[in-house]
Amino acid sequence: MRHSGNPGSYQNSWSHLFVLLSGRVMTVAVWSCFAALLLVTGCTAPLPADSRSVAQPSGFEKIGHVIVIFQENWSFDGLYGKFPGAEGLANAGERVRQIQKDGTPYTTLPQPLNTSKKPPAPDARFPTNLPVAPYDAAQYVPPDQKTGDIVNRAFQERRQINGGRMDGFAAWSENGGLAMSYYDATDLPVGRLAQQYTLADHFFHSAFDGSLINHFWLICACTPIWPNAPANVVIQLDAQGVVVKDGSVTPDGYVVHTVYAANRPYPATIPTLSPDARIRSFSFIIRRSITSPATPTEQQPEPNT
């Protein structure tokens, strides 16, 4: 992790180490930062005034708290690609090239979709001839307004990364025109925090897919397991490994997308499953994850059932 921000922040703010983590690979042009997570370390507490003769803490011992802002559904470049001093959009090089599913290169990006409409429809705020390059979405949609949503699922992401070529984000998305968009967050509220504290420009998410699995990896470095999950929450693949039905659980029993316990709040649209089954299953997921950590989705062994 490199330090990008105020070079004096380490000297001036030892009591709190503020780290901004961008938790996803893909750009989603929706301003939806997650709540701050406070992690209290076991560092030395402040000394009382009558203890001046005791040696004062120094170095990392002076850090009392680590505060992590875990940003959902954003890549680093999607918000901080223009941040001064960071390794961002200027370093993208040939990785901005995008190819279609048949292997031919895009000449223009697809027009972004408004996914709030059913079915999704072209978003007239964006032009129909966007170049195949990172573009500032703020020139079309201000950062305080919503754009359409974008896919954040494990098997689609594998094809988007395409063995490290990073050229499948436009093709393997239901809203490929947004894949190259960004907002310059340098002077937005979270960007101003980054200027004062520490911005992790070499931080990458731990596992393919969305927020739930990466929350697990942030805390316990483990993948939830749900053996014998109901068929309506299991991902279905064809013979070529292409998703034919989205779900939350891989065919070999790993939870990679959002699932819910029986306790509210949860959306009314979640897959049908009785409350008793939901809470038993989710309790098993938590217990199994803590006692038997799994490896990331792309390196999973067969689960023991």
- DSSP labels, 73-93: T--HHHHHTT-TTSS-GGG-G
pLDDT at residue 59 greater than cutoff 50: yes
At 5-54, the pLDDT tens digits run 543 333 333 334 445 554 433 332 222 333 333 333 333 445 555 555 67
* Dihedral class, residue 122 (left if φ above 0, else alpha if ψ from -120 to 50, else beta): beta
Whether residue 253 is predicted with pLDDT greater than 80 in this model: the reply is yes
Backbone angles phi, psi at 162, to 5 degrees: 50, 55
End-to-end CA distance of the chain: 38
* Least confident window among 227-236, 279-288, 296-305: 296-305
Could you please report the per-residue DSSP string of 100-138?
A: -TTSPBPSSPPPPEETTSSS-EE-TTS-S---SS-EEGG
Residue pLDDT, tens place only, 75-98: 889 999 999 999 899 888 777 899
Which range has highest mean pLDDT (71-75, 175-179, 266-270)?
A: 175-179
Write down the residue that tokens 């999950």 correspond to: 229
- Residue 68, classed as helix, strand or coil, is strand
Pairing of strands 243-245, 236-237: antiparallel
CA distances from 103 to 53, 171, 213 (A): 71, 10, 31
Q: CA-CA distance, 239 to 241, in Å (whole number)?
A: 6
Sheet strands side by side (includes 36-40): 36-40, 65-71, 16-22, 198-199
The pLDDT, as a whole number, for residue 214 is 87
Is this model's pTM higher than 0.85 or not? Answer: no
pLDDT at 244 over 90: yes
Instruction: Extract the tokens encoding 139.
Output: 């020139």
Contacts of 42 (CB under 8 A, 6+ apart): none
What does pLDDT average to over the chain? 75
245: helix, strand or coil: strand
Question: Average pLDDT for residues 134-160, to the nearest whole number?
Answer: 92
pLDDT, tens digit, for every residue of 101-140?
A: 999 999 999 999 999 999 999 999 999 999 999 999 999 9
Beta-sheet strands, E only, within 116-235: 121-122, 135-136, 181-182, 198-199
Q: For the segment 172-224, what is each residue's pLDDT rounded down to a tens digit?
A: 999 999 999 999 999 998 899 889 888 888 877 888 888 888 888 888 889 98
- What pLDDT is attached to residue 133? 92
d(CA 257, CA 269): 15
